[in-house]
Amino acid sequence: MSELVLLTGATGYVGARLLSQLVRAERRVRCLARWPENLHGRVPEGVEVVHGDACDAASLAPALSGVEAAFYLVHALGTSGDAAEFDRRAARAFGAAARAAGMRRIVYFGGFGPPPAAGAPRGRVDQDVGDALRASGVPVVELRASVIIGPGSLSFEMIRALVERMPVIAAPRWLRTPVRPIFSGDVLAYLLAALDLPATESRTFAIGGRDIVSYAELMREYARQRGLRRWIIPVSVDAPRVSSLWLAMVTPLYARIGRTLIDSVRHPIVADDAALRQFAVQPIGVREAIARAMRSEEAAQARTSGLYGVAAEDALRRWGGARFGNRLVDSRVVAVPATPAAAFAAIERIGGDRGWYSTRWLWQLRGWMDQLVGGVGMRRGRRDPERLAAGEVLDCWRVAAVERGKRLLLAAEMKLPGRGWLEFEVRPGDGDRTTAIRQTATFDPLGLAGLLYWYVSWPLHQWVFAQMARGVALEAQKLEAAGGRADVAASARALADAIPIDDS
């Protein structure tokens, strides 16, 4: 049996991804959580979840029993006194419990900034946390990184928000400071390697990617890969508080988190490449890291049935729908008294000569407007009036995916300041002959023009999408009443048995 590894912060950005890597590496994992119910259903089979509070020594003793190594990923992001004191108390309590449990190693990810230089003043919260863990006497391997490139990372999301929303960006001095960005996948590789590092004393490492660049250069590379033209103008102002307030106004980040990010990149970061060779990790460069971050988002979207439709009700309660990273979502669910087979048959008949079940004249107008700017318009129609296949054209869309009886995903091919998708998903409803149809429109806006297009079009889209959803439901009822296509009645029972019920 392999050693038992404890993971704290399993619900965080790094912890959730690290858990998957540990399971893939066939490690025995125990997750520590203040609210274990938040992890139920979210951890792979075989992963143990136990209750424990990093500040409560009584709860830590049983949770750490039998554990030989631990990942300490507990952070209260920010610089407020309460958050800083929580981090210090939690580190002291966890270190004492680890020593009492006879733990051989703690791996701590400091998150921001390089190790302090010899004789440099202390005072950073993450430095204090590292000191508290080392004071326990348990060997600590501490890793620090300045900028993490990956979807969901605060530093990457700040870059994304600034570049997408600001055609002209004022660059204070901290945006021009050299840093070593690291891909999120490489962070996980270093963390896993740190678990087996052949060292018995505490060590601190600044990890980074292959390239040394500035935040401004990161923004230019992101803009290049997104096809955006951005002007970055150097300014002499270097006030972190003013910059953090500015970030809070133009990005989704809170001012206090922006201040933490700014503090992390105000000084040049130099990693000791010779010391990092013992990890046997080959980090990638900035260009490939940004490309992989974008591809991983696409892969996650393609794997997610219903895209982001779980936020259907929430999307309809706010102006502009729901936001997931850079994507904007409008999603709605309609119930129809029909079998799943009849519901999907109605969905699959959409477009072409039948139209889009709503406001035919508006769809025709949209097609004419698209042709005026060099787009494909609505003139292409469809190959077969009854069935669709992946890769086929459908008016101004292309069929991206078809899961017969379950799901149809269309990718927009009209001229848009961004990328759009339209998805229909069929799920069994409450009764044997009641079906839920989820319709989701997703838009990935390209820069400020894309955001303006989405929000200006939002009222009209609300009407058109609602009419379309009702039209699909009415068509499904007609097919159900008439028996539908020849194969609908024969396959209805098999489809109802085959489609799993998702309580979400």
* 217: CB partners within 8 A, 6+ apart: 286
Within a 10 A sphere around the Cβ of 37, how many other Cβ atoms? 9
Task: Return the pLDDT at 446.
Answer: 84
The dihedral built from the CA positions of residue 182, 187, 190 and 194, taken in this order, carries a sign that is: positive
CA distance 363 to 383: 19
User: Token pair of 361, please?
Assistant: 């004249």
Query: pTM of this prediction?
Result: 0.67
Residue spans of the domains in the chain: they are 4-298, 306-498
Architecture of domain 306-498: 2-Layer Sandwich (3.30)
Fold of 4-298: Rossmann fold (3.40.50)
412 φ, ψ to 5°? -70, 135
Task: Return the pLDDT at 70.
Answer: 93
Task: Return the pLDDT at 29.
Answer: 92
- Cα angle, residue 134 at apex, residues 129 and 136 outer, rounded to 5°: 105
Residue whose structure tokens are 């999120």: 184
Burial pattern 46-82, b for ≥16 Cβ within 10 A else e, equals: ebebbebbbbeeebbeebbeebbbbbbbbbebbeeee
- List average pLDDT for each run of 10 residues in the chain, which is 504 residues long: 85 85 91 81 82 84 91 68 74 91 91 48 59 90 88 79 82 80 92 86 88 90 90 74 60 54 59 77 93 73 43 53 74 88 92 88 88 87 90 92 89 90 84 79 86 89 90 91 55 41 36
Q: Are strands 435-445 and 327-336 parallel, antiparallel or unpaired?
A: antiparallel
